[in-house]
Amino acid sequence: MAMDSSAKVIDGKAVAKQIRDEITAEVSRIREATGVIPGLAVILVGDRKDSATYVRNKKKACESVGINSLEANLPEDSTEEEVLNYISGYNDDPSVHGILVQLPLPSHMNEQNILNAVRIEKDVDGFHPLNIGRLAMRGRDPLFVPCTPKGCIELLHRYNISIKGKRAVVIGRSNIVGMPAALLLQREDATVSIVHSRTSNPEEIIRQADIIISAVGKANMVRGSWIKPGAVIIDVGINPVDDPNSPRGYKLVGDVCYEEAIKVASAVTPVPGGVGPMTIAMLLQNTLISAKRVHNFE
């Protein structure tokens, strides 16, 4: 591939819209056949602006596809027990098919205890250790796959980018994105390496990749010179950087230097408008899957 030709832009917004349209059709099909409306409950603790924005977006997205959304807003100084009580109520409520605890939680709470309290059948975030364990095992299937990594793989599928036999590098090893993304790539028969903060010579490893999924949260860390010509880049990072020309005083960029990457890669996701819209689309899809599973609806 010639170095001066520019990469195909992977349009996450357009793909997410397509998926939401598919979900809308399925939601009305299950409602007409069984009277069931899929329901998602979101628990938000505290008043972090970014978390509140995410929750608002999730609510809007639910409404747009016909999914019922419930919301519990708890003050920052709530006890862990109060959060667990809400989870327990939603666990027992048959009209709720998915429960999502918005992270991060306030520092006085034990995140593990709280996430483990969500019934695995309603764990639409895919963070329950049993779901992750099944994801890691050959021949087992998790009930739900975590939304962001699932969205990354879905983008590759919908752009007909083959994964089988390819060398894939995942940058970052978080429980939410990096680690499950590596497991998903492995399930698709890629040969996977994970690069993290303790990796020596990360650029050497990254340069061998046919597919890069970056989820490290460092603005423009991956330079054009680190990318193998023709590689495919899925950039999960959303990092604010100062920009005096922007009305907000900052702009959002990914982990990968987009201006450089687009000259070398064969396909790349923009930030914003790449992986972000896919995460919410996958959450809606998981909620629909959950409702269908409970009611044995094909």
Determine the pLDDT at residue 6.
81
Structure token digits, residue 72: 């519990």
Check if 58 is active-site. Answer: yes
Rg over alpha carbons for the chain, rounded to the nearest Å, is: 20
Residue 120 per-residue DSSP state: G
Q: Is residue 113 part of a domain?
A: yes
Structure token digits, residue 223: 């330079």
Q: Is residue 62 part of a domain?
A: yes
Distance CA 206, CA 256 (A): 12
Average pLDDT over residues 138-145: 97
- Summarize pLDDT for 46-68 with one digit per residue, the tens: 999 989 999 999 999 999 999 99
Q: Is residue 14 part of a domain?
A: no
- Summarize pLDDT for 104-137 with one digit per residue, the tens: 999 999 999 999 999 999 999 999 999 999 999 9
Instruction: Mark whether 110 and 172 lie in a shared domain.
Output: no
Instruction: Mark whether 66 and 103 lie in a shared domain.
Output: yes
CB-based contact 7:261 (threshold 8 Å): yes
Instruction: Mark whether 98 and 184 lie in a shared domain.
Output: no
Q: How many CB atoms lie within 10 A of CB 78?
A: 19
% of the chain beyond a pLDDT of 90: 97
**Residue at which a domain ends, from 87, 104, 121:** 121
Instruction: Mark whether 113 and 151 lie in a shared domain.
Output: no
Instruction: Write the CB contacts of 59 (distance below 8 Å, at least 6 apart in sequence).
Output: 42, 69, 71
Instruction: Mark whether 151 and 272 lie in a shared domain.
Output: yes
Q: Is residue 11 part of a domain?
A: no
Residue 262 is part of a domain; what is its CATH number? Answer: 3.40.50.720
CB-based contact 281:153 (threshold 8 Å): no
Q: Is residue 107 part of a domain?
A: yes
Catalytic residue among 58, 122, 150, 292: 58
Instruction: Mark whether 99 and 176 lie in a shared domain.
Output: no
Instruction: Mark whether 105 and 174 lie in a shared domain.
Output: no
20 CB-side CA count, 13 A = 20
Q: How many CB atoms lie within 10 A of CB 3?
A: 9
Catalytic residue among 11, 122, 123, 125: 125
How many distinct structural domains can be found in the chain? 2
Determine the pLDDT at residue 147.
97
Q: What is the DSSP string of 202-228?
A: HHHHHTT-SEEEE-S--TT-B-GGGS-
Mean pLDDT, the chain, rounded, equals: 96
Domain that holds residue 257: 146-277
Q: Is residue 91 part of a domain?
A: yes
- Summarize pLDDT for 10-52 with one digit per residue, the tens: 999 999 999 999 999 999 999 999 999 999 999 999 999 989 9
CB-based contact 254:238 (threshold 8 Å): yes
SS (H, E, C) 20-51: HHHHHHHHHHHHHHHCCCCEEEEEEECCCHHH
**135-147 as b/e: b if 16+ CB within 10 A:** beeeeeebbbbbb
Q: Is residue 130 part of a domain?
A: no
Instruction: Mark whether 49 and 110 lie in a shared domain.
Output: yes
Residue 236 per-residue DSSP state: -
Instruction: Mark whether 63 and 154 lie in a shared domain.
Output: no
Residue 95 is part of a domain; what is its CATH number? Answer: 3.40.50.10860
Instruction: Mark whether 161 and 108 lie in a shared domain.
Output: no
Answer yes or no: is pLDDT of 2 > 70: no
Distance CA 237, CA 132 (A): 22
Q: Is residue 129 part of a domain?
A: no
Q: How confident is the model at residue 5 (pLDDT cuts 50, 70, 90)?
A: low
Instruction: Mark whether 181 and 267 lie in a shared domain.
Output: yes
**193-203 as b/e: b if 16+ CB within 10 A:** bbbeeeeeebe
Instruction: Mark whether 193 and 234 lie in a shared domain.
Output: yes
Answer yes or no: is pLDDT of 1 > 60: no
- Summarize pLDDT for 146-195 with one digit per residue, the tens: 999 999 999 999 999 999 999 999 999 999 999 999 999 999 999 999 99
Catalytic residue among 102, 150, 166, 235: 102
